[in-house]
Structure 1
Amino acid sequence: MRRGVEKGLRSLTLAALTCWSVTAHAQQAADAVAPEAESDLSVLWPNASEDILASLRAKANGLPVEAQDWMIAAANPLAVQAGAKILQNGGTAADAIVAVQAVLGLVEPQSSGLGGGAFLLWYDAKTGKLTTLDGRETAPLALTPRLFQTDAGEPLKFFDAVVGGLSVGTPGTPALLAEAQRRWGKRPWVGLFGDAIRLAEDGFPVSPRLASLVARDHDRLARFEETAAYFLPAGAPLEAGQVLRNPAYAETLRTISDQGVGVFYSGDIAADIATSVQTAPGNPGKLAPLDLAIYRVVERDPVCVSYRGHDVCGMGPPSSGGLAVGQILGLLRHSDLSGLGPESPESWRLIGDASRLAFADRGRYVADNDFLPVPVKGMLDDGYLIDRNKLLGGDDALPEVAPGTPAFDHALNWADDDAIEFPSTSHISIVDGYGNALSMTTTIENAFGSRLMVRGFLLNNELTDFSFRTHRDGRPIANAVAPGKRPRSSMAPTIVLKDGKPVLVIGSPGGSRIIGYVAQAIIAHLDWGMDVQQAVAMRHLVNRFGTYDVEDGITASLTTSLEQMGYDVKLGTLNSGLHAIAIGTNLQGGADPRREGIALGR
């Protein structure tokens, strides 16, 4: 039984327990809807460059890719190759990210693209400054708080809300790319889209992952004419290896390349986006040309926590990623994880319950802090984390978990959130030849987003990251939808610094599991001495709400020990997409073997 844990530290009201269990059940049920399959790209690359083949071999053999000058790790070899060309020709990471995202939107359209949003961290080698940019989607001005509720005031079923125009927020990715490149780029904007335009016009091989997801989502993709024509030609799903062309996307990129990103947010492109949303058959939405015209990228303060002599820095609200990763590490920094090791059940008890405590705070307090105060400093305060750390003092699973009470500067009476996040996202890590480092996580939310396609790209369903409810038991929910508001996210692009300089650039897709994936990889690297490829490839154990999600391949003895500690254990596929770069005497890149990405450097 638990030792040294006072009852008062873990007491909960019955109402709080009920709210938390509802949230956990909803998210974990959603996780089973759209898992993403592992992929083997080797069959698609018989004529690939030696660099790409060498990177694929390194990943297959569990080895990091090494380089001296620059490095890039992202979710598809064609996208990595496009970014590598920019870096090789003197571009910065801010130049390369434009090329990478443009290609990802073509070859991995189910995960990210022009119709989505992103968060970006930038370390500037010249100034030593860390900057974070928020390119999250915004809610249309015309919506009401009951956007995702029935006439009776009950939440819609998830896919009733997702598929169509109702779920579409104002895209932020194009504006984010332009802002980063304006601030930190060296190459002409017009020259950053060449590979994406060529591939869209000439064609690219459909990857196994894209083909499998199209087949799985056949019925929803078939609902809209333009979407169906692209992904289901002649009514049949795309097949792996099939050459796919997207001339409409090429034309959109050429227009943005020639005229600048402003053309995306006004004129014909913006009008077409709004029309598609507002006239979506069966599920029209509210997005209007004005919403696009007023969209702005926001610079926000980084969220940083000290851990093992390092500063682990991430994105603050409206993302919960930096805060939750920071809380997990802050709760664990006084535990001897290094001595325990990765095979110890005690390591995973500590990590799992630290994660549960972080998720409890996340569910109650984190939302768009342009609309309401978020206790960022209070949640990462040393004294608060020490108090919360006392809950980890036993020897078995916490029987109950509730939000804490971090320091706040106003009255506090929030209800717990019940928003659901799906794992269709992408992450890009880049270190350039000038010493700059970039970490960007990018998404359209659910696989294929809203399933609406405009001018060759898919529109997001990001509004479903808001809570479908506005209140619970008479208390407001922080992450409730509101006009102009940005939905809460779990994206956790991260840069780890040592003595003010970057030593690790990392992030992952994975819905709300992103937080666990990133925290685990950082622990694997800093505590357990794994290189970046080992850290991103190690089997996952993720605990958000009490049930331990354990990846297939974990030893039976470890899962048995977790069950004996009191955890429910759920075995299955946990498809992260971690991409990481370690910076030391050289650069080492790691790409998650569960997905199609590679690391490439010189």
Structure 2
Amino acid sequence: MPNRDDGAEHEGVARSTERGDRDANPRSLRTGRRTFLKGSAATIGASAIPAAATGVAGEESSESGAERVDIARSSEGMVSTVHPQATEVGAEVLRDGGNAIDAAVATQFALNVVQPHSSGIGGGGFMVVYIAEEDELYTVDNRERAPLGANAEMFLDDEGEPIPFDERITLGEAVGVPGTLRATDVATKRYGTRYIDELIEPAIELASGERRVTVDEYLAGAIEEEKGKFNDAARERFAPGGEALDAGDELVQEDLAETFRLIRDEGIGALYGGEIGEAVADVVQDNGGSMTVDDLARYNVTIDTPEYGEYENVAVRTQPLPSSGGLTIAQILKLIEAFDLGGYERESAETFHALIEAFHLAYADRGAFMGDKAFADAPWQGLLDEEYLEERRGRITFDEATTANAEPGDPWAYQPGNPYRVRAPGEGTEGIDVDATERMAAADRSTADRGQTTHFTTADSEGNLVSWTTTIEQLFGTGIVVPEYGFFLNNELTDFDAVPGGPNEVAPTKRPLSSTSPTIVFSDGEPVFTVGSPGGTTIITTVAQIIQNVVEYDMDLAEAIAAPRIYADADPTVFYEPDVPADLRERLHELGHELAEEPSELGNVQALLVDRETGEYVGAADYRRNGSVIGL
């Protein structure tokens, strides 16, 4: 470890004091249990003007840095999403007396309309919920599951080789049994104050054209890029006559509005066994899949306990397996914690080098050991064992970069007991080179899993919080719209390893490994901030960097979100954002890092912070897309 620059450390202290009181940060949040200003007229930042869409990565903006991040303050409630109209729907629910869970559910339905390429009732996700009255934290796991007809070799061709990813994502076999709609029902009944027949109404108005919706720049670009994989029903709506809808075009989705009316009138059974479910099963089978109405009818969510990780003076609570986010974020943060990177500038070669090397090591372990915990045991204690972390950390030298694919360690040597299952029930391992399949699977994911999702967060005056990441996997999922029902179907089963033999191989009813990481960070047992992002495997590194920025570098939310990000996995290639300084890139290159030829935007963060000194929320929405935040 090289000597730190004391001047840089002093500059960091000065920087944190110059920011004033725009946001609180965990190091100053050492007060007692917070008191929310219920019913108070002292509401700061009643709303915020939505940030403009940035369009193409690297496009010039008249603003720079934290000024581009949409910020709002309020003691009564907060909603932050990727789209202004979805944000407004959530805020309406809060104004009408609903709680944070009600607002989140209404927001999800609205996002299905205004962001059809990223999420919807044809997909799934993970929701982390904090219930203030109980002082309890829950996760609602609504990850898609493989149908009973799925098998471990379904993504191999006749020669036993993986079907190319771009082809694989369009197949009926790629569609997992969707969980989002079931999650809305379970969440409102367990934690909400309203029912979905009321909360779905704003989405009906948006889809039918009663509330005017137009195509934004990001959606227009996505349609143009992905229209080649659309089925006829998708093409008719989003690229009529082969011409993609343009930014500013009105978007009316009457078939989706009618689907929502069916759900309003008949309940979620319309999808999970009823008329809509029959249409889903039919179109999946027409495209080569095996899903049946019975697969839909047997689907249910899982209520779980969030993963727990410690970093500096905070506890990081996020989704457990089958999302790899919880364990991998925790491992990354523990790997870098010992380096005391706060002594360096955030945009220094030392900080970025340590992050990249930690990413390499953590992703190697992720690819080798993680899968659906109902099917494959993961060495979760071993991965976070201090001796194992020290062993892995010892592989990081500040003199040069790792230039080969990172190899997994042996966390089982630090884990009590042995794995209870690494194969699907009834299947053996004869003839399978597990080490080889792990490497092939990791390589397959590293090149393919850059999918998109959407993240949003809500809070209410009672202190309830929701951090929810929802997805259909790639942009527009499979590209298959359910004919006459108007929603896209996910391609989540391509998150399984195409090559059988590892913990993330395909099996009936199994959930594929995810990177989704809806997170709530705690200090002294109290919630400090929520954070999450879309971006496939890049979600993990995005969330980890935001946490590091707030906790290690004392940044406020706007600064933490605006700071340029990097991404790397087990592969040597390092991806970077346009705002990473040229001299920093050159220094990383000198250390031996293999930087991507061109920059790319990484993630799109929605977050909110609890200012325990004032009882207010500080909400933030990333400028990288059309994000907006509203405080009541």
The answer to whether TM tops 0.5 is: yes
What secondary structure, in the 3-state scheme, does the structure 1 residue paired with 2:609 have? strand
Moved more, 260-269 or 270-279: 260-269
Equivalent of residue 447 in structure 1, options 467, 475, 479: 475
Alignment of 1:480-519 (within 5 A): 480-519=505-544
TM-aligned CA deviation for residue 264 of structure 1: 1.5
What secondary structure, in the 3-state scheme, does the structure 1 residue paired with 2:204 have? helix
Do 2:185 and 2:195's aligned partners in 1 also have CA atoms closer than 8 Å? Answer: no
- In structure 1, distance between residues paired with 2:216 and 2:539: 23
Alignment of 1:344-423 (within 5 A): 344-400=348-404, 401-407=406-412, 408=415, 409-410=417-418, 415-416=438-439, 417=441, 418-419=444-445, 420-423=448-451
* Corresponding residue for residue 208 of structure 1: 217
Does structure 1 residue 99 correspond to structure 2 residue 106? yes
* Corresponding residue for residue 24 of structure 1: none
Distance 1:481 1:572, change over 3 A: same
- In structure 2, distance between residues paired with 1:395 and 1:261: 57
The two structures, once aligned, show a CA RMSD in angstroms of: 1.9
* Corresponding residue for residue 556 of structure 2: 531
Does structure 1 residue 287 correspond to structure 2 residue 294? no
* Corresponding residue for residue 170 of structure 1: 177
Distance 1:484 1:549, change over 3 A: same
* Corresponding residue for residue 574 of structure 1: 601
Distance 1:219 1:393, change over 3 A: closer
- In structure 2, distance between residues paired with 1:560 and 1:502: 39
Do 2:69 and 2:621's aligned partners in 1 also have CA atoms closer than 8 Å? Answer: no
* Corresponding residue for residue 436 of structure 1: 464
After superposition, the C-alpha distances for 1:164-191 in whole angstroms (9 at most, x for unaligned) are: 4121110011111211111110123321
- In structure 1, distance between residues paired with 2:46 and 2:173: 44
- In structure 1, distance between residues paired with 2:399 and 2:140: 41
Alignment of 1:73-88 (within 5 A): 73-88=80-95
* Corresponding residue for residue 342 of structure 2: 338
- In structure 2, distance between residues paired with 1:357 and 1:573: 22
What secondary structure, in the 3-state scheme, does the structure 2 residue paired with 1:64 have? strand
Does structure 1 residue 594 correspond to structure 2 residue 619? no
TM-aligned CA deviation for residue 218 of structure 1: 2.4
- In structure 2, distance between residues paired with 1:518 and 1:161: 28
- In structure 2, distance between residues paired with 1:53 and 1:393: 45
Alignment of 1:188-337 (within 5 A): 188-202=195-209, 203-221=212-230, 224-280=231-287, 284-337=288-341
Q: Which amino acid aligns with 2:630?
A: L
- In structure 2, distance between residues paired with 1:518 and 1:245: 34
TM-aligned CA deviation for residue 438 of structure 1: 0.9
* Corresponding residue for residue 28 of structure 1: none
| TM-score where L is the length of structure 1 | 0.87
Alignment of 1:465-476 (within 5 A): 465-470=495-500, 476=501
What secondary structure, in the 3-state scheme, does the structure 1 residue paired with 2:271 have? helix
TM-aligned CA deviation for residue 231 of structure 1: 0.7
What secondary structure, in the 3-state scheme, does the structure 1 residue paired with 2:564 have? coil
What secondary structure, in the 3-state scheme, does the structure 2 residue paired with 1:306 have? strand
Do 2:70 and 2:627's aligned partners in 1 also have CA atoms closer than 8 Å? Answer: no
Do 2:46 and 2:74's aligned partners in 1 also have CA atoms closer than 8 Å? Answer: no
* Corresponding residue for residue 19 of structure 2: none
After superposition, the C-alpha distances for 1:120-162 in whole angstroms (9 at most, x for unaligned) are: 1111111111111211000111122211111111110112211
The runs of 5 or more residues in structure 2 that have no matched partner are 3-44, 53-62, 423-433
Do 2:467 and 2:520's aligned partners in 1 also have CA atoms closer than 8 Å? Answer: yes
| TM-score where L is the length of structure 2 | 0.83
Do 1:582 and 1:589's aligned partners in 2 also have CA atoms closer than 8 Å? Answer: yes
Moved more, 82-91 or 388-397: 388-397
Do 2:357 and 2:401's aligned partners in 1 also have CA atoms closer than 8 Å? Answer: yes
After superposition, the C-alpha distances for 1:523-551 in whole angstroms (9 at most, x for unaligned) are: 11111121112211211122223222111
TM-aligned CA deviation for residue 314 of structure 1: 0.8
Q: Which amino acid aligns with 2:610?
A: I
How many residues were matched structurally? 545
Do 1:55 and 1:65's aligned partners in 2 also have CA atoms closer than 8 Å? Answer: no
What secondary structure, in the 3-state scheme, does the structure 1 residue paired with 2:80 have? strand
What secondary structure, in the 3-state scheme, does the structure 2 residue paired with 1:219 have? helix
Distance 1:193 1:263, change over 3 A: same
- In structure 1, distance between residues paired with 2:582 and 2:538: 22
TM-aligned CA deviation for residue 577 of structure 1: 1.2
What secondary structure, in the 3-state scheme, does the structure 1 residue paired with 2:128 have? strand
- In structure 1, distance between residues paired with 2:95 and 2:278: 38
After superposition, the C-alpha distances for 1:372-391 in whole angstroms (9 at most, x for unaligned) are: 11112221223322322222
* Corresponding residue for residue 89 of structure 1: 96
TM-aligned CA deviation for residue 447 of structure 1: 0.6
* Corresponding residue for residue 457 of structure 1: 487
The runs of 5 or more residues in structure 1 that have no matched partner are 4-49, 471-475
* Corresponding residue for residue 20 of structure 1: none
Do 1:80 and 1:600's aligned partners in 2 also have CA atoms closer than 8 Å? Answer: yes
- In structure 1, distance between residues paired with 2:379 and 2:468: 24
TM-aligned CA deviation for residue 63 of structure 1: 5.7
Do 1:143 and 1:483's aligned partners in 2 also have CA atoms closer than 8 Å? Answer: yes
* Corresponding residue for residue 37 of structure 2: none
- In structure 2, distance between residues paired with 1:267 and 1:399: 53
Distance 1:189 1:217, change over 3 A: closer
What secondary structure, in the 3-state scheme, does the structure 2 residue paired with 1:453 have? coil
Identity of counterpart residues, as a percentage?
Answer: 36
Q: Which amino acid aligns with 1:358?
A: A
Q: Which amino acid aligns with 2:126?
A: F
* Corresponding residue for residue 17 of structure 1: none
Q: Which amino acid aligns with 1:555?
A: P
Do 1:367 and 1:479's aligned partners in 2 also have CA atoms closer than 8 Å? Answer: yes
* Corresponding residue for residue 5 of structure 2: none
- In structure 1, distance between residues paired with 2:90 and 2:577: 32
- In structure 2, distance between residues paired with 1:569 and 1:422: 17
Do 2:141 and 2:303's aligned partners in 1 also have CA atoms closer than 8 Å? Answer: yes
Equivalent of residue 68 in structure 1, options 75, 82, 92: 75
- In structure 1, distance between residues paired with 2:286 and 2:574: 42
